[in-house]
């Protein structure tokens, strides 16, 4: 059997793990340091898997977003979970919500933490589903 055929799965999995680790270090790790959550959060789920970015780390269709009176709960899809523990960001820690347009898509940037921890960018349509609880608590 060809040596490449034997090594390819190992190299592919290794590269995937390395990339997941690097992406987690671009911003998620800062959220975890301050807002690490436990499993079993009870809240309203928004969509199935949403797209978001945390600082410069992009998570396309990889985030589970839930919310309740406490705040916003973020958890990655199963394949990124190793380096991305779930986080619960209290409403009081969202210091500013800014509008942004990327090409033709309306986005919302949530500035988290004081001192600054992260910027979470969501589609405006996703943010609009959680906006009323946010206004109530901000």
Residues 6+ apart with CB under 8 A from 77: 49, 61, 62, 63, 64
pLDDT of the residue at 136: 53
Burial of 134 (0-12, 13-18, 19+ CB in 10 A): middle
Task: Please give the model's pTM, rounded to 2 decimal places.
Answer: 0.83
Of the candidate CATH numbers 2.30.29.30, 3.40.50.12280, 3.40.50.800, 1.10.340.30, the domain formed by 3-137 belongs to: 2.30.29.30
Query: What pLDDT, on the 0 to 100 scale, is given for residue 111?
Result: 96
State both tokens at 11: 């190299």
Domain spans in the chain, listed from the N-terminal domain onward: 3-137
What burial letters (b/e) apply to 85-117, b meaning 16+ CB within 10 Å? bbbbbebebbeebeeeeeeeeebbbbbbbeeeb
pLDDT per 10-residue tile (average), the chain, 138 residues: 80 78 78 89 92 89 93 88 90 94 92 94 92 59
Give the pLDDT of residue 77.
Answer: 84
Indicate the Cα dihedral angle 13, 16, 18, 23, nearest 10°.
Answer: -160
| Residue 132: per-residue pLDDT | 63
């Amino acid at each position: 059997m060809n040596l490449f055929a034997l090594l390819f799965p190992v190299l592919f999995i290794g590269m995937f793990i390395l990339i997941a680790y690097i992406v987690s270090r671009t911003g998620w790790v800062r959220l975890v340091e301050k807002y690490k959550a436990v499993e079993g959060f009870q809240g309203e789920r928004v969509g199935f898997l949403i797209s978001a970015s945390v600082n410069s780390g992009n998570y396309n269709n990889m985030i589970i977003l839930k919310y309740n009176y406490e705040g916003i709960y973020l958890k990655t899809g199963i394949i990124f979970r190793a380096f991305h523990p779930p986080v619960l960001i209290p409403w009081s820690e969202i210091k500013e919500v800014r509008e942004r347009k990327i090409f033709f898509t309306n986005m919302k940037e949530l500035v988290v933490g004081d001192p600054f921890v992260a910027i979470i960018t969501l589609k405006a349509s996703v943010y609009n589903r959680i906006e009323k609880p946010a206004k109530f608590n901000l």
